[in-house]
Structure 1
Amino acid sequence: MAFSHDMAHSLATVVELINTAPETHGEEALCDLSDLADFLARRQVSGIGALERRDLDEVRAVRAAFHEVCTAPDREGVITRLNALLSGTRITPRLTEHDGHPLHIHYFAPGSSVAEHLAAECAIALAYLLVENEWERLRTCAAPDCSHIFIDESRNRSRVYCDSRTCGNRMHVAAYRARRRA
């Protein structure tokens, strides 16, 4: 499935946000406001004002909620958790063009906190993934020492590693060496 620009961007943002958590990253990657500002700049999150300590705490809470959504044991669990997350946002869809991006839809309400902004944009993207029966594209890396979450955008849904250059290559080399020893 080919995702629109804003859908792909929001899915990549939620995946990267989840992967900043100690459970997936191995250590906290959002340690302070500077880390949060870097994350928001890297993900080109627009409409963000000055950051405060509460923003960091709220974003970490939203990140934990997204992790629960993405690791729910079944479809009903995903729906329940995603609805709970969506119910905590003020969603105001509006068309926008900015920063050289094509026309797309923003879902966060004007004046939203950064956490509510991320919750609205990313939860809508995950909801579309679920509605389009593409939820299985959201995966956890198959490498035994990696718990990163990723979106499989391959045509045949065959991707199993978060990054083919690191985890994939490491696992293929290990399998090759094991075959050579046998």
Structure 2
Amino acid sequence: MLFANDTEEGLRSAAALVNTEDGEQLPDADALERFARDWNWSGNLALDEAELDAVRNLRPRLRSLWSGDEDAVVDTVNALLREFNALPQLVRHDSWDYHIHATPLEAPLSARMAVEAAMAFVDLIRSKELGRLRTCAAEDCTNVLVDLSKNRSRRFCESGCGNRAAVAAYRARLAERAEASA
């Protein structure tokens, strides 16, 4: 683990939320509920159109954090923390040991998502690790990812792009060998 567990989860969930934009993977409140459950979001869930719209509207702001421009990332992080009145506090709940929450559990889901992402990015910025933010290396994919590997080698998102690239490379080698032996 490179960062505290809540930082890594905040980064991963921010990337996952950004990646729901492609092909609109949050078409309705049921999809939002599944996403919140899959990413273990605790607290209040309104699951209405207003909440769905607020979460969808957060995605482009979070995507901008993958820009690579440290000053722009800092500006966005600070804006999110100010906008949602972040007040960091240590909490322990469910199966989690002490970690930081900066919004109350009653805050709207979009506010909690924004602040959790911003708090995770604070650690990334302070550690000078923005280089761990990437866009998927697959030519036909615009998903973002966070490379938390020790050797900084992750190139593909979690949508199967790495497998597709490996299969394509394998088939290309087979074709090349067949051509060479013919």
1:9 equivalenced with 2:3 (yes/no): no
Conserved in 2, the CA contact under 8 Å of 1:140 and 1:147? yes
- Encode CA deviations 1:106-143: one digit per residue, 9 max, x unaligned: 11135321111111111110121111111111111101
- Encode CA deviations 1:2-26: one digit per residue, 9 max, x unaligned: 221111111111011011002xxxx
Q: Against the structure 1 CA distance between its residues 146 and 49, is the aligned structure 2 distance closer, same or farther, given a 3 Å change threshold? A: closer
1:92 equivalenced with 2:87 (yes/no): yes
Distance across 1 between alignment mates of 2:7 and 2:76: 20
Residue of structure 1 in register with 2:139 after alignment: 144
User: Which of 1 and 2 has greater Rg?
Assistant: 2
| Residue type of the alignment partner of 2:55 | V
Q: TM-score, normalised by structure 2?
A: 0.88
Conserved in 2, the CA contact under 8 Å of 1:150 and 1:162? yes
Give the 5 Å matches for 1:14-163.
14-22=14-22, 27-70=23-66, 72=67, 74-163=69-158
Q: TM-score, normalised by structure 1?
A: 0.88
Cα distance, 1:167 vs structure 2: 1.6
**Unaligned 5+ runs, structure 1:** none
Residue of structure 2 in register with 1:166 after alignment: 160
Residue of structure 1 aligned with 2:170, choices 173, 176, 181: 176
Task: Kindly report the root-mean-square deviation, in angstroms, between the aligned alpha carbons of the 2 structures.
Answer: 1.8
Say which SS state the counterpart of residue 90 (structure 2) adopts: strand
| Residue type of the alignment partner of 1:157 | R
Distance across 1 between alignment mates of 2:15 and 2:39: 11
> In terms of mean alpha carbon deviation, does 137-146 or 79-88 score higher?
79-88
Q: Against the structure 1 CA distance between its residues 127 and 43, is the aligned structure 2 distance closer, same or farther, given a 3 Å change threshold? A: same
| Residue type of the alignment partner of 2:49 | R
Query: Highest relative contact order (Cα 8 Å, sep 6+), 1 or 2?
Result: 2
Conserved in 2, the CA contact under 8 Å of 1:140 and 1:150? yes
Distance across 2 between alignment mates of 1:133 and 1:61: 28
Cα distance, 1:73 vs structure 2: 5.1
**Unaligned 5+ runs, structure 2:** 177-182
Cα distance, 1:54 vs structure 2: 0.8
Give the aligned length: 176
Conserved in 2, the CA contact under 8 Å of 1:65 and 1:85? no
